[in-house]
Structure 1
Amino acid sequence: MVITGADTRRGRGKATSPNPVKEAALELGLRVEHEVEALLESDAQLGIVVAYGAILRSPLLDHMPFVNLHFSLLPRWRGAAPVERAILSGDVETGVCVMAIEEGLDTGGIYASATTPVDDKTLFELWEELSDLGGELLVQWLPQAFAHGELLAPTPQRGEATYAAKLAAEDRRVDLDAPAAEQFARVRLGNAWTMVGDKRLKLIEASLDRSVPDVRIEYLRVQPEGKRPMLFSDWWRGATDEQRAAFAQGPPT
């Protein structure tokens, strides 16, 4: 059985269409439901949760064991935005965990995990990579999960827990006087912005120049308020001296 969101309207018409998860499940001949309570009628041995977006509680947790594919190396970054917080904090690596679901927020034991470097990946790139890594991890772990007839016990989380609160718009605001690495991290989240004078400027793409003693950020694409995205070099040519002064990087190379 697969639990996923209900069909939604797409486009201008009134017709609804299923999401990709439902489409894949139907192609495989699996039963699809839209309410998680339908699992109470199931005799499944295990529930697997991926990006569900809600906390499961009793009586579901009493009915069967559940595991969650969490996108961090627990106990670091429990909560709603673990990938975003890993990027913002400059983490060297992150990963995925198959964890037991219990009443607490991402406090359950770990069944399996895999790591990957963060590098200069954008949020989208890291999400894609972790999704693939997590799928592979689940496929590897599942055949071993009931090796002795019952679900094997997980390993308790070890280390100091940190919490990944949802991002607010202000978390994506770039301080142009901040260190280059901090600015770059916010740009990689997507929807980064700053204020130049009294106008909002979206910062779409940037790169870091690590060849110089003081790491330097180079903005590549921006979007002025009320205009289309453009190359930073084009924005620079049309900017006033006061607007240019906001960027410590100076003129584009």
Structure 2
Amino acid sequence: MSFAGTPEDAVPALRALAMAGFEIPVVVTGTPRRRSRRGSDSPSPVAMAANELGLPISYDPDDLAERAADCAVVVAFGRLISAHLLARLPMLNLHFSLLPRWRGAAPVERALLAGDAFTGVSLMALEATLDTGPVYWRREAPIGPADTAASLRDRLAHEGAERLVASLTEGLGTPGLQQGEPTYARKLTAADREIDWSQPASRIDRQIRVGGAWTTLDGQRFIVRAGIPLATTQQMPPATLVGDSVATGDGLIRLGVVQPAGRPATDARAWLHGTRLPPGTRFTQAAST
């Protein structure tokens, strides 16, 4: 059974398959790349895990079918698999959503940003078109008020890996066609992450929990890494700094961890104590700076 995957989200499935005794003739992953501005090229998390497990690594998807494998498992590979390759080798795809809701590149982030009460993980037969294959199973997972995109992905990756091994061991059964109206999880852009302080605190909270939420202070990007929504009767214009909180369209967001431009992430209270901003300081949106 060949394997294709790239980010940390795919590592639990690879490890689970190896620990369960499945023979993995090749692991196909993304090429080494720079993962920080000042760093050098480094292997993907899946490549590092494959090295630890003593498994052969390739960067060419065609190698999935070149080795002695009866199928391949694909988890967050990051590239579409061509129709000619799928014609040579059947493939299973572990996808982090309740298909057909949130087909595409960023299903966890989109589910969280949209305010979905539930997300999940699905195992489908891979097709050349985007996440359209018949589904063997779906496992539902609630989205809690403190869940971040990172914590959700980690939970789904481990739950999906456990269920994947169990279903391969016990038998996959027959997949069924996806039921329901599809929605598409396009990759998030900087615009998706920019905070509009006139929005409800609940939406801004979800943006922060997705990761990388930002605003503008004194003409420079200011990232909000963590915060807590607060209900209040405070009547201040949105985007106004009120103590250690920021006014929104219907409440406050208490700042927890922030990252001013050119500086590391820090506790918001420590930043405020050192910066000593004047009363009435307001954040702005990029378009209005």
Superposition TM-score tier, normalisation by shorter sequence:
0.7 to 0.9
Question: Does residue 1:191 correspond to 2:193, yes or no?
Answer: no
TM normalised by structure 2 equals 0.73
* Aligned pairs for 1:43-192 within 5 A: 43-119=68-144, 120-145=146-171, 152-192=173-213
**Cα separation, 1, equivalents of 2:42 and 2:270:** 41
* Aligned pairs for 1:13-24 within 5 A: 18-24=43-49
Q: Which structure exhibits the higher relative contact order, with contacts defined as CA atoms closer than 8 Å and separated by 6 or more residues?
A: 2
| Identical pairs, percent | 41
2:278 aligns with 240
2:238 aligns with none
* Equivalent position amino acid for 1:233 in 2: R
Distance of aligned partners of 1:30 and 1:84 in 2 relative to their CA distance in 1, 3 Å threshold:
same
User: Any unmatched runs of 5+ in structure 2?
Assistant: 1-24, 234-249, 285-289
TM normalised by structure 1 equals 0.83
Distance of aligned partners of 1:42 and 1:188 in 2 relative to their CA distance in 1, 3 Å threshold:
same
- Native 8 Å contact 2:83 2:127 kept in 1: no
Shift of 1:202: 1.4
Alpha-carbon displacement from aligned partner over 1:62-106 (angstroms, at most 9, x marks no partner): 112111110100000001110110110001111110111112110
- Secondary structure at 1:95's aligned position in 2? strand
User: Any unmatched runs of 5+ in structure 1?
Assistant: 147-151, 248-253
Alpha-carbon displacement from aligned partner over 1:27-66 (angstroms, at most 9, x marks no partner): 5444332211112323422110011111112221111211
Distance of aligned partners of 1:131 and 1:195 in 2 relative to their CA distance in 1, 3 Å threshold:
same
Higher mean Cα deviation, 185-194 or 229-238? 229-238
Question: Does residue 1:200 correspond to 2:226, yes or no?
Answer: no
Distance of aligned partners of 1:53 and 1:18 in 2 relative to their CA distance in 1, 3 Å threshold:
closer
**Cα separation, 1, equivalents of 2:215 and 2:56:** 47
What do you get for the CA RMSD once the two structures are aligned? 2.8
Aligned length: 239
**Cα separation, 1, equivalents of 2:270 and 2:161:** 42
Shift of 1:225: 2.6
**Cα separation, 1, equivalents of 2:48 and 2:219:** 46
Higher mean Cα deviation, 1-10 or 189-198? 1-10
